[in-house]
Amino acid sequence: MNVLARPLDCSEVVSHAEMANAVRFLAIDAVEQAKSGHPGMPMGMADVATVLFSRFLKFDSSDPTWPDRDRFVLSAGHGSMLLYALLYLTGYESMTLDQLKAFRQWGSKTPGHPEYGHTPGVETTTGPLGQGIATAVGMALAERLMNARFGDDLVDHFTYVIAGDGCLMEGISHEAISLAGHLGLNRLVVLFDDNQISIDGPTALSCSDDQLARFRASGWSACRIDGHDPRAIATAIAAARDNDRPSLIACRTIIGFGAPSRQGSEKVHGAPLGSDEVEKARKALDWPYSPFELPGAVLAEWRHLGARGREARRAWIARSRLECGAKRSPFHDALNRKLPCAYAAAMNGLKVRLADQRPKLATRQASQQVIGAIAEALPNLLGGSADLTHSNLTLAKTQSPVQRESFRGNYIHYGVREHAMAAAMNGIALHDGFIPYGGTFLSFADYSRPAIRLAALMRIRVIHVMTHDSIGLGEDGPTHQPVEHLASLRAIPNLLVFRPADAVETAEAWDCALRSQTSPSILCLSRQALPAFRDAADEINRVALGAYVVVEPDGPRDVTLIGTGSEVCVALEAAELLADEGLRVAVVSAPCFELLARQSPEYRKKVLGKAPRVGVEAAIEGNWSRWLGEDGEFVGMSGFGASAPASVLYREFGITPIAVAAAARRAIRRSLEGK
Ligand SMILES: Cc1ncc(C[n+]2csc(CCOP(=O)(O)OP(=O)(O)O)c2C)c(N)n1
């Protein structure tokens, strides 16, 4: 038991039941007031949450971001009122009673599902089932990695998760528990709301898994308890904390506990109880108070609990001063999201070298050189791949694998678990201490997409290295050739999708991704070698502009050719063909549409020009029309690829300098006819 463990009875004057009922009724009343929400889960899990928060969770409500706090993840995000009630009761400043009364309303701190960055005390955004538990695996992993580097005095906390049947039914949960079991993440404790009910009715309608056997098979310890018995809950959590494996505690609960005619049924999952049933629940649970009213002693006891971690936090601050001194230390550096000076020197040195040597490289190879050049300057860079290390080229020579025997490594073999990798990277970024990047093929971005979307929503720095970014990968064929992926990823708000065209651009794209503290990034990289066209005579990061002019003709432009990634060199060759005919052709490289959209209208006009435009990208057209305008032409894919050598595919699908030149002539002709 840790120093925060408490005796079983909450206090002399307030019983466990009263403490738990405070949570229950705040949830009931808020859902009732909002006329929408999910009362069943908070009512069912109030006992478990009360025991966790009152006896085990290490936190200080006055400092929601204290680095050594325990992390609490409500994976069953629909039960958000459970979390909001706890934040209010334990005294988080921003969570007032008025916020609970404004549950699910515009501008409130109490949105329908918990949102990271919106509500202090919410560790991660949840709602899409299964994401929370997988994100928590990343948090628990980050804790072990930080602990291995900085020791128990600075890093020594648990990650607790409340997950429901839905979370465990989702496929991502399996990838996540398998990874956690493999790595032996013993600081991870999952409290499973084992109420056997989901929206359609009893889980028996659709699921007959033996969850305990399933978790045990993945290397977890697992037990089942009565989720309404505080002693059983406390005993199980204490045992879980004392375990050398991650732990599942299946808490058998009654959904909607206390609502006499609805408890135990799906009817209480996602709708207000209604005033009659609320009255009955008040009688059944002996809670004779009006909506949002709390007995003073109960609130006082909860507030006392919310401040109980203050001592532990102060002791931690004292220890960290002793360990690290007042000045900067590696520990502070790890938590500081800014990049160290040594990084800028390493990155600039590489750019100069690449510009001098002008190597013909696949951009995945260029990326490997980037990682190699910056890894030592960025000790908190944490690499990995979903079993494609040798294709993604994500491993630097100086990196070593993370293993359950040693968390001192800095490269994670995520296994063939793209979705869990993406969610774990979210958890690692949320935990703080590391900049996670992970590799897979671009065509498998769809496997990771729900977690990528959450990273964008949460505004966190996570870097996806997605190689084999077009038909240019060749013989593996259409299953592996992304065509719609660029467009679909570009559709996610706040996601930076980079498609660098040569080695210098690849370095610049990495630089942008590392500096983007509030956006996740996807680096889309080629399998095939690409010629260098950039010299880096100056230190300006041109990729950061989103698009820039590579070739500007003398005199007014007749046409502007815009390419991304491997098709910039197609545009450059097309420009030569057209120039031979006396046309004045500009070529623009557009490695990041999102960053281009953030530039001033003047800059965009200057780059895109007034002349007709032709876009070229070995992918479907998607949202290119924004850059090409009404009169523009697009040269790319209109369906799936095929299995053949890359050069044959480019020829057969008509993504060639000749095709681009022909499109340019058409665009010029049309524009002349229109004048
Ligand atoms: C990925 C995903 N699919 C579907 C939903 C919609 N949904 C929300 S809760 C829920 C049922 C979850 O059941 P369970 O975890 O047992 O929650 P409980 O009924 O116990 O509250 C569903 C299908 C969702 N939020 N996320």
The Cα–Cα gap between 587 and 599 comes to 19
**Measuring from atom 25 of ligand 1, which residue has the nearest CA?**
128
Helices (H) and strands (E) in the chain, counts: 26, 20
Q: Which helix (H) or strand (E) holds 498?
A: strand 496-498
Mean pLDDT for the chain?
96
Q: What is the DSSP string of 393-446?
A: T---TT--B-BTTBTT--EEE--S-HHHHHHHHHHHHHHSS-EEEEEEEGGGHH
Q: What pLDDT sits at residue 12?
A: 60
Q: Residue 337's closest CA among 514, 121, 139?
A: 514
Q: What is the pLDDT of residues 79-133, one digit of tens each?
A: 999 999 999 999 999 999 999 999 999 999 999 999 999 999 999 999 999 999 9
pLDDT at 537 over 90: no
Q: What is the pLDDT of residues 142-151, one digit of tens each?
A: 999 999 999 9
60 CB within 6 A, ligand 1: no
- Counting residues of the chain whose pLDDT is more than 90, the rounded percentage is 94
Which one-letter amino acid corresponds to residue 441? F
269 CB within 6 A, ligand 1: yes
Which of 18, 418, 508, 633 is flagged as catalytic? 418
41 CB within 6 A, ligand 1: yes
Q: What pLDDT sits at residue 499?
A: 98
Q: Looking at ligand 1, which atom is closest to the CA of residue 450?
A: 1
Give the residue, out of 78, 80, 252, 263, with the most ligand 1 atoms within 8 A of its beta carbon, to mutate for a pocket test: 78
The angle formed by the CA atoms of residues 639, 641 and 643, to the nearest 5 degrees, is 155
Annotation marks residue 475 as catalytic: no
Q: How many CB atoms lie within 10 A of CB 555?
A: 7
Cα 269 to Cα 40, 115, 211, 255: the distances in Å are 5, 20, 21, 7
Q: What number is the average pLDDT over the span 628-642?
A: 96
From the CA of 182, how far away is ligand 1's center (Å)?
Answer: 27
Q: Tell me the β-bridge partners of 192.
A: 163, 250
43 CB within 6 A, ligand 1: no
Lowest mean pLDDT among 30-34, 116-120, 261-265, 331-335: 331-335
Q: What pLDDT sits at residue 9?
A: 47
From the CA of 198, how far away is ligand 1's center (Å)?
Answer: 6
Collapsing DSSP states into helix, strand and coil, what is residue 383? Answer: strand
Locus of tokens 């220890």: 319
pLDDT at 392 over 60: yes
Q: How many CB atoms lie within 10 A of CB 311?
A: 12
Q: Provide the 8-state DSSP code for 226.
A: E
Q: What is the pLDDT of residues 400-440, one digit of tens each?
A: 999 999 999 999 999 999 999 999 999 999 999 999 999 99
**Measuring from atom 12 of ligand 1, which residue has the nearest CA?**
166
Joined tokens for residue 65 = 């971001």
Q: Residue 435's closest CA among 356, 480, 379, 476?
A: 379
From the CA of 100, how far away is ligand 1's center (Å)?
Answer: 22
Cα 90 to Cα 7, 121, 529: the distances in Å are 18, 11, 57
197 CB within 6 A, ligand 1: yes
563 CB within 6 A, ligand 1: no
Q: Looking at ligand 1, which atom is closest to the CA of residue 131?
A: 1
Joined tokens for residue 356 = 């001098």
Q: What number is the average pLDDT over the span 156-180?
A: 98
Q: What pLDDT sits at residue 2?
A: 42
Q: What pLDDT sits at residue 13?
A: 80
Q: Looking at ligand 1, which atom is closest to the CA of residue 169?
A: 15
From the CA of 166, how far away is ligand 1's center (Å)?
Answer: 5
Cα 181 to Cα 46, 212, 440: the distances in Å are 28, 13, 22
Question: Which residues, in sequence order, are CB contacts of 611 under 8 Å at separation 6+?
Answer: 556, 557, 558, 559, 560, 586, 668, 671
